[in-house]
């Protein structure tokens, strides 16, 4: 991608915070790189508040990140309940063949021989996704800068500015790993 193309787009970063001084924080991304990201006056922060799968009901809108097994079945590793629909559909995650993102409405929750299973429906289709006991299940609530601490997982959108400096536009932060 050319620099002019990057300047016109937002950058997505997923990883774990490794340092923070209140104005800039460093994130170690999934590929092992360290990225410095500034906080702006209008940076929106949401916190992934843990909930139980029993709190998820038909009619709720979820974003579910899943691993695709060899047989094509989907197994969730992250389930997020959203207050309103966001980008409904089913697609690969960041170009990967082994992971998918399903943003859809819960049409059924069942306990099956395979384990806990959600059926998610969106315009043009539906997906059945097994939710193992170790899956991260949460809902998004308003967050604040005090939650941007080392060890916290983040999924964020940043604006790329002059000199390649990034400023966070929206940050989704979770509890630090124990």
| Tens digit of pLDDT at every position of the chain (178 positions) | 334 444 447 888 989 999 999 899 999 987 889 999 999 999 999 999 999 999 999 999 999 999 998 888 999 999 999 988 989 999 988 767 789 999 999 998 887 666 789 999 999 999 999 999 999 999 989 999 999 999 999 999 999 998 889 999 999 999 887 6
Are 58 and 110 in contact, with CB atoms under 8 Å apart?
no
pTM: 0.74
No. of H helices and E strands in the chain? 1, 12
CATH code for position 153: 2.40.50.140
Note whether 166 and 93 are same-domain residues: no
Beta strands 34-50 and 24-29, pairing class: antiparallel
What phi and psi, each to the nearest 5 degrees, are found at residue 49?
-80, 120
Note down the domain range covering 97: 49-139
Residue 171, H or E segment: strand 166-176
∠ CA 7-11-16, rounded to 5° = 145
Q: Indicate if 40 and 99 belong to the same structural domain.
A: no
């Amino acid at each position: 991608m050319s620099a002019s193309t990057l300047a016109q787009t937002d950058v997505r970063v997923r990883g774990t915070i490794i340092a923070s001084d209140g104005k800039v924080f460093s994130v170690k991304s999934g590929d092992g790189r360290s990225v410095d990201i500034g906080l702006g006056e209008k940076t929106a922060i949401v916190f992934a508040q843990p909930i139980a799968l029993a709190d998820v009901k038909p009619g709720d809108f979820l974003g579910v990140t899943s691993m695709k097994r060899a047989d094509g079945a989907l197994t969730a590793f992250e389930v997020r309940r959203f207050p309103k629909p966001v980008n409904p559909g089913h697609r690969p995650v960041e170009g990967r063949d082994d992971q998918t993102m399903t943003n859809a409405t819960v049409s059924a929750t069942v306990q099956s021989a395979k384990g806990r299973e959600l059926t998610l429906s969106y315009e043009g289709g539906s997906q059945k996704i097994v939710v193992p006991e170790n899956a991260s299940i949460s809902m998004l609530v308003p967050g604040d800068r005090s939650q941007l601490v080392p060890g916290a997982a983040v999924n964020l959108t940043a604006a790329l500015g002059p000199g390649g400096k990034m400023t966070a536009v929206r940050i989704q932060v979770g509890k630090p790993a124990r």
